[in-house]
């Protein structure tokens, strides 16, 4: 599969605030870029592009939905969540995830404004790249078993508890954000809290986290020297959040785009193939009919030449066999075939000679020629005599004998 290109959008979604190329396993292939979308178009070539949407722009909720296909659940989600959203349902896009705890459990749903989602995709297209996924930033914060996972980044605090949807808290006042995240509740014995914090923001958050350390069983700090994008890449490879590009926003498959491009050519090619096959079938049908007609004609000629004899499917062989028998019955040059061969050779050798009639008697053959030139008969007779035959011409008739007169 192709590598990932993660493009993080700024908090107002107006431009990319950074991007990172990562392998299919989530390992960064280069240092994260923190400048705006410079070089994005070239980096996107041959890679799967995923937009990381601002955390505050996506609502993370759960709904009790019956089992069904993604399209079916997407139709049911707005009705089930009507009381949890304040905006007009027609202006919102609902992306459905998996049911927690298997079939029958609460189904994760991410909700985003259609206007915002359209703006993000338009911005990407204008930047020269096409996303295959849009992930909410909070959905890419790790959900760790038996722990509370926090991400302090970009003046906001993301809270992930096992089995619960992410919560996004403003981080302008770090102490208030921590109080909202962990205060006001009795923390379980032995609770472990893992904090992922951007190295640039660590000085601002350090006093707050250190003040909370005595109240926690264990507090683990993980600094992010290159920002949160490497963390998101690792999460995308192992446990990605909900892809917002569902339903009408689902990305078109490359093969489908290629098919649309070549659809007309393919249709014309298929039409030509059908015409070729139809024409070939007609030719074969005509040849079969001609073959049947020819077989009938051969059978008729055979019946006339050899009445009462069955051809047995090989009329030519039977005729040749019969002629050989006749020839064998007439010894030497007195036979019909030798006389016919001599006459045929003589007629072919004289221009203008056309054989009109034959009359055979044992030992002799009378010919009648059709020609406008009276000398043709003499030339044919001369040709026969030169072959050792006895030939005499009179008018347009010639008498040929096997021996000299």
Q: Is the pTM of this model over 0.95?
A: no
Confirm whether 391 is domain-assigned: yes
Of 269, 300, 320, the one marking the end of a domain is 320
Of 212, 232, 251, the one marking the end of a domain is 251
Q: Residue 43: which of 142, 116, 127, 100 has the closest Cα?
A: 127
Q: Say yes or no: 297 and 233 in one domain.
A: no
How far, in Å, CA of 61 to CA of 111, rounded?
8
Q: Say yes or no: 13 and 68 in one domain.
A: yes
Q: Domains in the chain: how many in total? A: 3
Q: Say yes or no: 274 and 184 in one domain.
A: no
Q: Say yes or no: 385 and 303 in one domain.
A: no
Confirm whether 126 is domain-assigned: yes
Confirm whether 225 is domain-assigned: yes
Confirm whether 281 is domain-assigned: yes
Q: Say yes or no: 93 and 40 in one domain.
A: yes
Q: What is the CA radius of gyration of the chain?
A: 50
Range of the domain at 275: 259-320
Paired sense of beta strands 355-361 and 218-224, if any: unpaired
Confirm whether 293 is domain-assigned: yes
CA angle 317, 323, 327 (to 5 degrees): 145
Of 235, 251, 267, the one marking the end of a domain is 251
**pLDDT tens for the chain, residues 1 to 405:** 689 999 999 988 888 988 999 999 999 998 877 666 678 888 899 999 999 999 999 999 888 887 766 677 777 887 788 777 777 888 999 998 887 766 567 888 999 999 999 999 999 999 899 999 999 999 999 999 888 999 999 889 999 998 889 999 999 999 999 999 887 666 777 778 999 999 999 999 999 999 988 888 889 999 999 999 999 999 999 988 999 999 889 887 655 445 556 778 888 888 888 888 888 989 988 888 888 888 778 777 777 766 766 666 677 677 667 666 665 655 555 667 777 888 888 777 777 777 777 787 777 778 777 766 778 788 888 888 887 788 888 777 877 786 544
């Amino acid at each position: 599969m192709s590598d990932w290109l993660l493009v993080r959008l700024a908090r107002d979604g107006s431009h990319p605030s950074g991007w990172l190329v990562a392998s299919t396993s989530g390992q960064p292939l280069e240092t994260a870029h923190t400048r705006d979308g410079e070089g994005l178009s070239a980096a996107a070539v041959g890679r799967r592009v995923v937009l990381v949407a601002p955390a505050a722009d996506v609502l993370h909720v759960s709904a009790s939905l019956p089992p069904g296909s993604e399209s079916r659940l997407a139709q049911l989600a707005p009705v089930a969540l009507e009381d949890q959203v304040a905006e007009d349902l027609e202006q919102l896009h609902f992306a459905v995830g998996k049911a927690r705890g298997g079939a029958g459990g609460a189904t994760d749903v991410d909700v985003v404004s259609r206007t915002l989602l359209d703006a993000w995709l338009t911005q990407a297209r204008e930047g020269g790249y096409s996303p295959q996924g849009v992930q909410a930033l909070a959905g890419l914060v790790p959900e760790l078993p038996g722990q509370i996972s926090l991400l302090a980044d970009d003046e906001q605090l993301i809270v992930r508890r096992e089995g619960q949807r992410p919560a996004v808290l403003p981080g302008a006042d770090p102490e208030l954000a921590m109080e909202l995240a962990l205060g006001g509740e009795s923390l379980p014995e032995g609770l472990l809290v893992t904090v992922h914090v951007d190295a640039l923001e660590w000085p601002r958050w350090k006093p707050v986290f250190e003040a909370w350390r005595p109240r926690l069983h264990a507090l683990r700090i993980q600094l992010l020297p290159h920002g949160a994008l490497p963390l998101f890449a690792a999460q995308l490879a192992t446990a990605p959040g909900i892809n917002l590009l569902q339903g009408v926003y689902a990305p078109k498959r490359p093969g489908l785009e290629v098919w649309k491009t070549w659809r007309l050519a393919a249709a014309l090619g298929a039409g030509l193939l059908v015409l070729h096959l139809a024409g070939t079938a007609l030719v074969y049908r005509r040849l079969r009919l001609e073959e049947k007609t020819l077989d009938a004609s051969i059978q008729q000629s055979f019946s006339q030449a050899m009445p009462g004899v069955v051809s047995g499917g090989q009329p030519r062989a039977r005729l040749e066999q019969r002629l050989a028998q006749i020839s064998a019955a007439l010894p030497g040059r007195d036979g019909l075939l030798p006389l016919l061969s001599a006459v045929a050779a003589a007629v072919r050798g004289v221009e203008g000679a056309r054989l009109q009639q034959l009359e055979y008697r044992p030992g002799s053959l009378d010919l009648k020629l059709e020609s406008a030139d009276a000398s043709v008969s003499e030339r044919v007779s001369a040709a026969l005599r030169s072959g050792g035959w006895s030939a005499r011409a009179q008018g347009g008739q010639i008498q040929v004998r096997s021996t000299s007169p």
